[in-house]
Chains A and B, each alone.
Chain A
Amino acid sequence: MIIETRRLSKNYGPVTAVKDLCLRVPAGKISAFLGPNGHGKSTTIKMLLGMVRPTDGSGDVLGYNITNPKESIEIRRRTAFVSEDKQLYGYMTVKQILAFTRALFPQWRAERERELVTAFDLPLNRVVKGLSKGMRTKLALILALARGADLLILDEPSEGLDPVATESMLQAVVRAAEEGATVFFSSHQLSETERIADHVFILKRGQVVVEGELDELRERYRRMNAVFVGTPPLDRLPLATFENAETDRHTLSALTKGDVDAIASEIRAAGALSVEFHPVNLRELFLQSVKE
């Protein structure tokens, strides 16, 4: 595991941002960290990098303890990070900040830098303060992706990017993974997440509610639609295997988990005329998981 947390918690006064979080991020994979706004994603990421102190619990990143100040310096040194606010030195020009960062990292990939500068169409002589939000994101991404780091932590990397730049960003992320890097990114863009993620974590109120290999989740969950003669007899149905069952006159619709055959025969035994199962995509799974 590249990232591992043990009952990590963070309170801001009376507000619980993260609660007993146990994250296990596998090495060499692309992991997505999903969740509604304000449910603890950025707080978690900042705790992983030693930028916010946990109220309770602990964790390791790349084998270094996140609560030990000395070790957390090592974490930041070895991790390429794009923060939510994309903070950069405002007084430097794009060219200067690239040269400055290049000098800090011996594994700097000059070719990657050139490709991305071209793909993102960045104005090299403009000062950072004068960049738009999207351009600032592009610059932060170049600084992170050209570093040749073993671990990339990206907090909403596609925020403010146009579709063309998003495509270049995703391509660079895929390339980094192909070169062996571990990628951990938060996002609200479920369609792009669905393309590139190997592993998914869905966070709700500071806790992981769904976690797993994306392929495995796609196989485990199904949308079930059953039609009955009369009203679905809810008292005779195995509701424990459902999530968010909804009924509408003769039909019952629910997200099911696990053995499709067993569920189908139970539903038929309860009088269903027809039972159908359909694949579930990430959007559906996400919306159901974070529903209050």
Chain B
Amino acid sequence: MTENSVSLYHLINTVKSHLLRIDPASGVPIYQQLVDQIKHAVEICGLIPGDQLPSVRVLAQELIISPNTVVKAYTELAYEGVVELRQGSGAFVVDQELKPKSIDKLREAKAEVHGLVEKFRRRGLNDGEIRRLFEAELLATEEVPAKARQRP
């Protein structure tokens, strides 16, 4: 077995069973779920620069989704600079110089969220209420301002 096939084997198994969890009934496009989850995998270093993503055929068959969906996700990831598409050999995670910074950012934010959640709990809010507050806030501010900003 070549080195390449070993790492690919390893990747398929981890990616499939741990990192990629597709929920077709969520209403979120599947390619978008793939993009988000692969980005997340890169952020938490589940995928590191130079790692090869499974081929379109392998991933489509593992997850049982349309190969066109995988192509769409990889194209989007390449457009966003997360992966690089190499002719004939597949998609590879790009070495982003920004990455250490983004990990620090996430770590910092995580600590802040932790503090905030603890504060709410002390005030007597239960976990369900806190979760709904976060979700409602994201829902209310996510799409509308993002689009509004694009307008002149």
Tell me the A residues contacting B by CB distance below 8 Å.
28-30, 167, 170-171, 174-175, 177-178, 191, 194-198, 214-215, 218-219, 260-261, 264, 276-284
Q: Chain A residues near B68 (CB, 8 Å)?
A: 28-30, 177, 198
B92 on interface, CB distance cutoff 8 Å: no
Considering residues A171, A178, A198, A276, which has the most beta carbons from chain B within 10 angstroms of its beta carbon?
Answer: A178
Tell me the B residues contacting A by CB distance below 8 Å.
22, 24-32, 56-57, 60-61, 63-69, 72, 136, 139-140, 143-144, 147-148
With contacts A191-B25, A194-B25, A260-B143 known, is A30 near B57, CB below 8 A? no
A218–B67 touching, CB < 8 Å: no
Residue of B nearest to A217 (CB): B29
Residue of B nearest to A193 (CB): B24
Q: Chain A residues near B28 (CB, 8 Å)?
A: 218, 279
Q: Chain B residues near A197 (CB, 8 Å)?
A: 66
B57–A178 touching, CB < 8 Å: yes
With contacts A29-B68, A177-B66 known, is A195 near B57, CB below 8 A? no
Q: Return the contact of B24 from the options A29, A175, A177, A194 (Cβ within 8 A).
A: A194
B67–A281 touching, CB < 8 Å: no
A94 and B25 CA atoms in complex are apart in Å by 37
Please list the 5 inter-chain residue pairs (A to B) with the smallest Cβ-Cβ separation, ordered nearest first.
A279-B27, A215-B29, A194-B24, A178-B67, A281-B27
Q: Return the contact of B64 from the options A28, A170, A214, A261 (Cβ within 8 A).
A: A170
With contacts A170-B64, A195-B30, A196-B64 known, is A178 near B56, CB below 8 A? yes
A191 and B65 CA atoms in complex are apart in Å by 11
Q: Chain A residues near B32 (CB, 8 Å)?
A: 215
B139–A174 touching, CB < 8 Å: no
A281 and B140 CA atoms in complex are apart in Å by 20
